[in-house]
Structure 1
Amino acid sequence: MKIIDRYLLKEIALSFSATLLVLTLIIVGNTFVRLLADASTGELPSDLLGSLLWFGSLKQLIRLIPVALLIGMMLAFSRLYRDSEMAALRAAGVAPRHFYRAIFSFVLPLTLFLAGLVLLVSPWVEQQNLDLRRQINERPEAAGIPPGEFVTAGSSSGGYTALAENIDASNTVMERFFIRAQNGTQETAIWARSAVLFVDSANGERVLQIRDGYRYESDSAEPGMRITQFDEHGIRIPLRDVAQASNRGSIPSQTLWQQSDAGAQAEWQWRIAIIISAPLLALLAFPLSYSAPRQGRYGKVAVAILIYAVYANVLATVRGMVERGDFPIFPGLWWIHLVMLGFVFWLLRKYYGKPA
């Protein structure tokens, strides 16, 4: 490897690493604040914050590697233009192809690494997130039932009041459980030694499985009360709504590739788009970083971020259209990459003329 290649490779690697570190800190910080806010309102159990923070941050970070590459390369080349090193290199006969040789000696291994993350690690991370969310939905905190506190929801004519005197060490079994439900003139009260909250796999609804207790039913329009003793009793109650995440992102890539429906193909093309965007944005960074003498150093970086935002939003929009069947699977997302590639070649022709 020539000295100039090593020098350019070092500049690109350092700028990319610094940019990725900053984005990582931002992502982790934002994710932590969001999760902490949910935990403070009782929507998330505090003992799962660490796992949710890790998997949530990793999922977002994989998707931001391409933009970190773009910004890092823009900063590296902008510094070369600011210090007139780019002019000296071009005067010494260093053509754009020499820059791209150094660029892709770094970008190609990074793209292969990114492909492994997107195709193998990302579905696993998504599955872990789904498992955690499912575990949260099956815990009393997801129903808004903390231990030792009365919880009331609804109105006086149609609502419920619940109490779990204690929750066991596994955070799943509510001990000495009481619930009172009102529906118009009908009133039902249940006391049981234990209750377990779980998600019905058939319809996704949460169910309270109550064991060893008594059910008291009365109607203000009728005299008397009906008392029933039971060993096991399951009821559905109006618990706090929890958003259900789509599980398409957790499907292994090999399985996803073999499916032909629009949703699966949209997810598959989206994963490939993340991989393709890394070398494509690396191609874009070099001509886009071109700066005239005395031109601002960071102006082109802002332009690069704007171009990436448009590129990413068009990809996301078309992906949604393909999922809904409003856009054909082919060309799907592929044409967007071709448009971006054409834009790169136009910039190269504009600033550097015909390839040398």
Structure 2
Amino acid sequence: MIIIRYLIRETFKSQIAILFILLLIFFCQKLVRILSMAVDGDIPTNLVFSLLGLGIPEMAQLILPLSLFLGILMTFSKLYSESEITVMHACGLSKNVLLIAALALSILTSAAAGINSLWLGPLSAVSQERIIANAKANPSLGALVEGQFQPSQDGNAVLFVGKVEGNAFTDVFLAQLRPSGNQRPSVVVADKGHIIEDPSGNQRILLETGTRYEGTALLRDFRITDFSHYQALIGHQEAMLDNSGVEQANITSLIASDSHQAKAELNWRLTLIISVPLMALLVVPLSEVNPRQGRVVSMLPAMLLYLIYFLLQSSLKSNAGRGKIDPMIWVWVVNLGYLALGILLNLWDSLPSRRLRARLRGAV
């Protein structure tokens, strides 16, 4: 139907615009956190954009339902305020065309939300954990922070560089506290150096023009060596991955698990999918604009109900993860309650509902 296609097209344009705006806001917040980690030396600076890209599925979990909700609310309220929907009603079209357009668009958004929350989200979480763990275990040149002592993950070495310039660094201090084999602890001071990685994955630090002090303070048998070129093997450390988080688990693992955290995460992911058509059903009658109040005031009840819904679901997820409640009961009680409210609001202004209310008033 032409009217339905028109409503879907207008709503979709609003949804895309809102989606990009919300994504930009969440993107900036994520960027601040990642840059803070890079400044502290927790991650290399060359991984900032990789981690930002992998963080998009996490951002989209809440952005997708909200973008459709706001898209429908703003588009339909605009059509009400410009009397386009009034003209549709005058031509014999009921409010069902609004509901059909909203639910049709919600099906597409639900499919995207399902792919994101059930597949892309866990996959990106695992990839982020692997990248961060590998960066901590095998720091590259991008992980060097000027003017800070940086210990290795196993605690066997400490590195300090005064300044990083391109692929090289200057004013180097390297302490090997617990070297392998029969070697003794040593401290190396050099004017400059750089890090290379061989085909086997081992990292080597190459230093130029410096001094190596080998020995222990207890034995006092130091060996002092001046060098023009010095090479030290850092080695390739196996990254210690923490896959215990339920955010990284796939849907099959969550269903098979009996832990409270897994049950809470499973119901949360399903709620992110169900909430899309649920909020679309709810927002259609709430998008009607009262000319005496204006668009902004008329949108407040819808925004309040949306906020209450996700605050409730977030609280239920937190309590279910601690084993205080059963998410299979309370999460779906809220969902069914909002479903009943959406159906009631859509039927409130229908002809059978008006007749029923008239009979009740007449009986009184």
After TM superposition, the structure 1 = structure 2 runs for residues 78-157 of structure 1, keeping only pairs within 5 Å, are 78-140=77-139, 146=145, 149=147, 151=149
Aligned length: 312
**CA displacement, residues 31-51 of structure 1 (integer Å, 9 cap, x when unaligned):** 223323433343332100110
Which consecutive residues of structure 2, in runs of 5 or more, have no partner in the other structure? 152-156, 179-183, 190-194, 196-211, 224-231, 236-241, 355-364
Name the Cα RMSD after superposition.
4.2
The TM-score with structure 1 as length reference comes to 0.72
Seen in structure 2, the aligned counterparts of structure 1 residues 161 and 260 have a Cα distance that, compared at 3 Å, is closer
Amino acid paired to 2:11 = I
Match of 2:205 in 1: none
CA contact (8 A) 2:80 2:289 kept: yes
Match of 1:44 in 2: 43
- 1:177 paired with 2:174, answer yes
Amino acid paired to 2:261 = G
CA distance in structure 1 between the partners assigned to 2:333 and 2:16 by the alignment? 30
After TM superposition, the structure 1 = structure 2 runs for residues 256-271 of structure 1, keeping only pairs within 5 Å, are 256-271=254-269
CA distance in structure 1 between the partners assigned to 2:247 and 2:277 by the alignment? 23
Match of 1:191 in 2: 187
Match of 2:52 in 1: 53
Amino acid paired to 1:250 = Q
After TM superposition, the structure 1 = structure 2 runs for residues 292-307 of structure 1, keeping only pairs within 5 Å, are 292-307=290-305
Seen in structure 2, the aligned counterparts of structure 1 residues 80 and 329 have a Cα distance that, compared at 3 Å, is closer
Question: Tell me, what secondary structure is at the counterpart of 1:70?
Answer: helix
CA distance in structure 2 between the partners assigned to 1:116 and 1:272 by the alignment? 11
Which consecutive residues of structure 1, in runs of 5 or more, have no partner in the other structure? 154-159, 182-187, 197-212, 235-243
CA distance in structure 2 between the partners assigned to 1:322 and 1:352 by the alignment? 39
The TM-score with structure 2 as length reference comes to 0.71
Seen in structure 2, the aligned counterparts of structure 1 residues 90 and 226 have a Cα distance that, compared at 3 Å, is farther
Amino acid paired to 1:163 = F
Question: Tell me, what secondary structure is at the counterpart of 2:103?
Answer: helix
CA contact (8 A) 2:57 2:117 kept: no
Amino acid paired to 2:35 = L
CA contact (8 A) 1:150 1:161 kept: no
Deviation at 1:81, TM superposition (A): 0.8
Amino acid paired to 1:191 = V
Question: Tell me, what secondary structure is at the counterpart of 2:329?
Answer: coil
Seen in structure 2, the aligned counterparts of structure 1 residues 226 and 26 have a Cα distance that, compared at 3 Å, is same
Match of 1:20 in 2: 19
Question: Tell me, what secondary structure is at the counterpart of 2:72?
Answer: helix
CA contact (8 A) 2:44 2:139 kept: no
CA distance in structure 2 between the partners assigned to 1:113 and 1:7 by the alignment? 22
Match of 2:6 in 1: 7
Deviation at 1:192, TM superposition (A): 7.3
CA distance in structure 2 between the partners assigned to 1:308 and 1:291 by the alignment? 18
Deviation at 1:79, TM superposition (A): 0.6
Question: Tell me, what secondary structure is at the counterpart of 1:270?
Answer: helix
CA distance in structure 2 between the partners assigned to 1:246 and 1:85 by the alignment? 53
**CA displacement, residues 55-102 of structure 1 (integer Å, 9 cap, x when unaligned):** 113320233100100000000101111101222222333223232222
Match of 1:70 in 2: 69
Match of 2:362 in 1: none
Seen in structure 2, the aligned counterparts of structure 1 residues 45 and 73 have a Cα distance that, compared at 3 Å, is same
Question: Tell me, what secondary structure is at the counterpart of 1:284?
Answer: helix
CA contact (8 A) 1:130 1:247 kept: no
Seen in structure 2, the aligned counterparts of structure 1 residues 283 and 266 have a Cα distance that, compared at 3 Å, is same
CA distance in structure 1 between the partners assigned to 2:222 and 2:349 by the alignment? 86
Deviation at 1:299, TM superposition (A): 2.6
Question: Tell me, what secondary structure is at the counterpart of 1:89?
Answer: helix
Question: Tell me, what secondary structure is at the counterpart of 2:42?
Answer: coil
Deviation at 1:114, TM superposition (A): 2.0
